[in-house]
Amino acid sequence: MTTTVPAPSAPVPPAPVTVPTGGARVAWTSMTAIVPAVWGTTYIVTTHLLPAGHPVFASMMRALPAGLVALLLARRLPRGSWWWKSLVLGTLNMAAFFPLLFVAAQHLPGGVAATLGAAQPIVVAFLAVGILHERLSIWRVVWGVLGLAGVGLVLIGPEAALDPVGVAAGLGGALSMGLGVVLTKKWGRPEGVSAIGLAGWQLTAGGLVLLLPALLIDGVPPGIDGPAMLGYAWLCLVGALFAYTIWFAAIRRLPVTATALLGLLSPLVAAILGAAIAGEVLSSVQLAGFALALAAMLAGQLNPGAKRRDSVAPEADG
């Protein structure tokens, strides 16, 4: 009598990617730009709707419910290596990034906190060289530096109090999500898994990582009222479920550094909301900084050097 030993399941290959060009590229870029614009509302929601002093709990509430909803919609669980990959990506993109984001929002004016994320495109550009083995796009690095210069112009505004804790949290968040973005690009997603499925894996993993610290460090905020529930719902359903589904779909199709440069929209939205709702005064210097950030974001979607290189894959320009 012979015993048949089942062969180990082969790794699920990444789904094929169709790289958009021309009008499709513009359409994808425009749709993706909605995501950092939505993320720019985090600061005003955090400071005006959520209970103060509970950043880890707010982070968990943003990630875990959204992840569970996404899992119900996608009806697909990770397989094989995607269990640990989802944990790594969920930790970088959510479990580490969200608390740092909330800490920055609670220690800095909204526009200042958001603009610290302008360091992310530079982080992504260099990580893409080391991890993705992409050619360094000098064009996008230069515009990333100019975008960061726009951050400097915002930070020297008269209303920009530089709380060290807030600044450290903002820069740490940019580093964490920058690495998460590059690894998301590197690993892609398995065949047959939708963008909402990938978002669900990461959001759930990140939320579970945050669950115990949220209860032990922050606890449940007392007296969660209607505005707080509305704030949590916005961050969960729009800022996480909707936004990350689009974000992960776009990362597969667009150059990773160009996509990261779209993040410069966050400080613009945060500043506009801060001026309109919170009464934060924007000086001419700060406005010039935001204009420079916007110019960097737009110029960074181009890469003239790629046109002069022959036989280069559409995504190899980083």
- Residue-wise pLDDT for 217-255, tens only, equals 989 998 889 999 999 999 999 999 999 999 999 888 888
* 3-state SS assignment for residue 190: strand
pLDDT at 15: 53
How far apart CA 233 and CA 73 sit, in angstroms, is 17
Residue at 19 is within a domain: no
How far apart CA 154 and CA 166 sit, in angstroms, is 15
φ, ψ of residue 283 to 5 degrees: the values are: -80, 170
Q: Given a cut of 50, is residue 148 above it in pLDDT? A: yes
Q: What are the C-alpha distances in Å from 17 to residues 10, 85, 315?
A: 20, 19, 11
How far apart CA 77 and CA 190 sit, in angstroms, is 11
pLDDT at 108: 72
Confidence bin at 161 (pLDDT 50/70/90): low
Residue at 67 is within a domain: yes
Strand partners, 190: 14
pLDDT at 202: 96
Residue at 253 is within a domain: yes
Residue at 311 is within a domain: no
φ, ψ of residue 93 to 5 degrees: the values are: -80, -25
Residue at 24 is within a domain: no
Q: What is the mean pLDDT of residues 17-29?
A: 74
Count CB-CB contacts under 10 A for residue 18.
Answer: 8
How far apart CA 36 and CA 244 sit, in angstroms, is 10
**Among 256, 248, 260, 243, CA closest to 296:** 260
Q: Kindly report the pTM of this predicted structure.
A: 0.81
Residue at 28 is within a domain: no
120 vs 30, higher pLDDT: 30
Most confident of 103-117, 265-279, 296-310: 265-279
Q: Can you list the alpha helix ranges (DSSP code H) found in 214-283?
A: 226-233, 243-253, 256-261, 265-273
How far apart CA 155 and CA 265 sit, in angstroms, is 16
Q: Residue 251 sits in which domain range?
A: 38-302
**Among 211, 178, 142, 197, CA closest to 15:** 197
Residue at 11 is within a domain: no
Strand partners, 14: 190
Number of structural domains the chain divides into:
1
Residue 146, Cβ density class (10 Å: 0-12 exposed, 13-18 middle, ≥19 buried): middle
* 3-state SS assignment for residue 111: helix
pLDDT at 5: 44
291 vs 305, higher pLDDT: 291
Q: What are the C-alpha distances in Å from 214 to residues 19, 24, 298?
A: 40, 42, 38
Element (H, E) at 56: helix 55-74
How far apart CA 51 and CA 45 sit, in angstroms, is 10
Handedness of CA 173, 175, 179, 182 (dihedral sign): positive
Q: Given a cut of 80, is residue 12 above it in pLDDT? A: no
pLDDT at 7: 45
Residue at 25 is within a domain: no
